[in-house]
Structure formats: structure tokens, C-alpha cells
Amino acid sequence: MLITGGAGFIGTNLADRLLSDGQPVLVFDNLSRAGVGENLAWLRERHGAHMEVQVADVRDALLLRRAVRRACRVFHLAAQVAVNTSLSDPIQDFEVNARGTLNLLEAIRTVPEPPPLLYTSTSKIYGALSGVELDGRDGRYLPKDELLRATGLAENHPLDFHSPYGCSKGAADQYVIDYARMYQLPAVVFRLGSVYGPHQRGTEDQGWVTHFLTRALRSEPITIYGDGRQVRDVLHVDDLVEAMCRAQVRLARVAGRAFNVGGGVANAISLRDLLELIRRFHGGTSEVRFGPWRLAEQRYYVADIAAFSEAAGWRPRITVEDGVRRLHEHLREAVGERRGPARTAHVPVLAAARS
Ligand SMILES: NC(=O)c1ccc[n+]([C@@H]2O[C@H](COP(=O)([O-])OP(=O)(O)OC[C@H]3O[C@@H](n4cnc5c(N)ncnc54)[C@H](O)[C@@H]3O)[C@@H](O)[C@H]2O)c1
């Protein structure tokens, strides 16, 4: 099982699941995301020799091709993941997200038996969704359209790339679907919204549930960009990993398609609601500051998960309340540990030598 970006948040959780199921994993990651070395150390401690790590970059087509030749399945997670970073360096964002994905597709296309591919796209490719009329009463934005409010946004909603990140991930999303169509590659796209859970390094730019919780645990101020009434459906990473495994089993039904995969309407929450939930679990109060709206920010994004549920027999099991409580407990231990004596994680890795 080849996981690009396997040292990252979703990759670590996926690798842990696959390794626990007895599947050998090759993590292909350039370790560019701060802190992911700790994820690798954790995986090593749990799974030792069953996991192989290649410190390498998806922009290196040759190394990627060699890794793909050894793979029976590919999960493509490696990416530049932050909108703000994409705004300050659009070329690098394009090279990693769009070109890196094309490198991977070419590697898969040119092996005699192309392995199945799962690609993690993003809800950002639907743009700001400014055409969706909203009602902002009751502390959260909800669509005026009753059907949309009841079901969330489906895959047939027009694509509308905003920001370099939206463009590079959207291009990759479309390339994957088109390679499936043109070259009959067994590939599926997951369009993800807000995923949260253990091993996430949440920052202001990505991973807001974990970021808010971590700030609260450290009694640090939390900044909300906008008015905090924006709504997202959140998905616990365990539910996502289960969806990824289901997609592999139901490959014939899902190949060539893109799915909105998220918590769905049952797990929709506003930023203000999340702060309230955190207050309930944590008790402490972080100072909350407000900043200006971010460019092209969606006031409301909730995934309609009916298509994937129907194709793969999957539904999220972990409610927001339960998931946030679990993550709070996990982070409380992790933050507590980090405050203890400093430890250096030793991560044995394979060098990315071009031999
Ligand atoms: N977490 C979410 O809520 C969310 C939402 C939408 C989409 N996604 C997508 O899911 C995927 C995984 O996200 P995540 O939250 O685990 O992010 P993450 O940053 O934790 O993981 C990404 C991993 O990719 C690695 N990486 C970055 N550039 C690389 C390169 N050039 N070559 C090799 N490795 C590289 C990083 O070191 C990191 O370990 C990404 O494609 C992201 O766009 C995530």
C-alpha cells in the first residue's frame, strides 16, 4: 500500500489502520509539514518493520514511478494544504498539487497493471458558494433553500476554483477523473471538507477543530476570521479511514467518480458552536478575537454524502460531540506530555537516493 503524504494527519491514521489489518505500507513523504516526524515515530513504535518510509517528493517523477511499481494500491494524500501558503507561493503550490498528481497518474498509467488510486481532493473546488442564499439567524448560516439545508451540497454543484490552492487541487481532481475515463484507471476522488482527529497539526490555515482545541488547552487566544457563524460539516478521521477502506472494497462501483465525503448535515457545526462545545469539555476560556473575512471563504459548506453512502454502504459513526470530546482527551494528554521533559523523536527512514 503506497501512501503519498503518509506521514501527515490523514496518512498516519490510514497507515495505522492498514498496518493493523496486516497490510504492509510504504509511506512516501518529503516531511515538509512541520511536526510530521512525530507521526512517523509513533507509527514506527506501533508497527516497526512492517512500515517502510521513503523521504521523497512527489515532484520527483522518477522516484514516484519506482514507488508505484511496487504498489498494489495507491492513496495520494501528499499536498501543499494551506490556502494562505498557496497565495504567497502559487508556483510551488501548483508544482506539488497539480504537477505532483500528474506525475503520479503518469506513473500509474505506465505500469503493466495499474494499481487502484484514491485521491483526496477538497470542497474548496466549489469556490465561495456565494450563489447559495443564506439565512444567518440563530448564530449560524444556513441555506434558505430547504432541500439544500436538508441534504447538503452534492457533487453536481458547479466547480468554481478559488485561490491557487483551489486551482491546483481542482486541476488534480479533474485529471484523476479524466485519467480514469481516458485510460480506464481504477481511480476515485474524495472531496473532503473539514477532517479532524489525532495526529493533526492544526494551524490557523488548516485543521481548525484541532487548532481551536489546542489553543484552548494552552489558554492561548483564538482568532476567528469572519463572524464565526460560518458552518462546516466535520468528519472524524476514523470515519474517513473507514470510508477509504470501503472505497477499495467497492472499487467497481466507485471508480471513475468523485464523491463529497464529510460529516454530512448531521455533523454540521458553526465555529461559534464549536467554541461552545470546547468550553463545555474544557471549562477554561480562551480569549476570542475576530479578524476580517478571508478571501473567498465559504459561509456554508456541508457535504451531501448520499452518493458515497449509497455506493459504498458507508455513513459517519462518530458524532461531532463525541469526536470533539475524544480529541480533547487525546490532546490533553499530548499537550501535557509536551510540557514535560523535552524528548527527541528518532525516526529511522529510508534515504531518497536515486540509485
Ligand atoms: N485535513 C483536512 O481537513 C482536509 C480537507 C480537504 C482536503 N484534504 C486533503 O487531504 C490530504 C491530506 O491532508 P492532511 O490533512 O493529512 O495534511 P497533512 O499536511 O497533515 O499531510 C500532508 C503530507 O504531505 C506531505 N507532503 C507535502 N508536500 C509533499 C511533497 N511535495 N512530496 C511528498 N510529500 C509531501 C507533508 O509532509 C505531509 O506529511 C491533502 O491532499 C489535503 O489537500 C484534507
pLDDT tens-place string over residues 324-342: 999 999 999 887 656 544 3
State residue 205's pLDDT score: 87
Q: Are 66 and 41 in contact (CB under 8 A)?
A: no
Residue range 281-306: average pLDDT?
93
- Ligand 1 center to residue 224 CA distance, Å? 23
Beta carbon of 188 within 6 Å of any ligand 1 atom? no
Q: 246-264 burial by CB neighbour count: b if 16+ within 10 A, else e? A: bbbebbeebbbbbbbbbbb
DSSP state of 258: E
Dihedral pair phi/psi, residue 21, rounded to 5°: -85, 5
pLDDT band at residue 286 under the 50/70/90 scheme: confident
Let me know how long the chain is.
355
Beta bridge partners of 168: none
pLDDT value, residue 339 = 55
Q: According to the model, what pLDDT value does residue 337 have?
A: 54
pLDDT tens readout for residues 88-144 = 999 999 999 999 999 999 999 999 999 999 999 999 999 999 999 999 988 999 999
- 196 tagged catalytic: no
Please report how many Cα atoms fall inside a 13 Å half-sphere around the Cα of residue 351, on the Cβ side: 3
122 Cβ below 6 A of ligand 1: yes
Pick from 10, 54, 102 the residue to mutate for probing ligand 1's pocket: most ligand atoms within 8 Å of its CB. 10
16 lines ligand 1 (CB under 6 A): no
Looking at residue 49, its pLDDT comes to 85
Residue 292 has pLDDT above 80, yes or no: yes
Per the rule left: phi > 0, alpha: psi between -120 and 50, beta: everything else, 76 is: beta
The edge-to-edge listing of strands for the beta sheet with 25-29 is 51-55, 25-29, 2-4, 74-76, 117-122, 187-192, 258-261
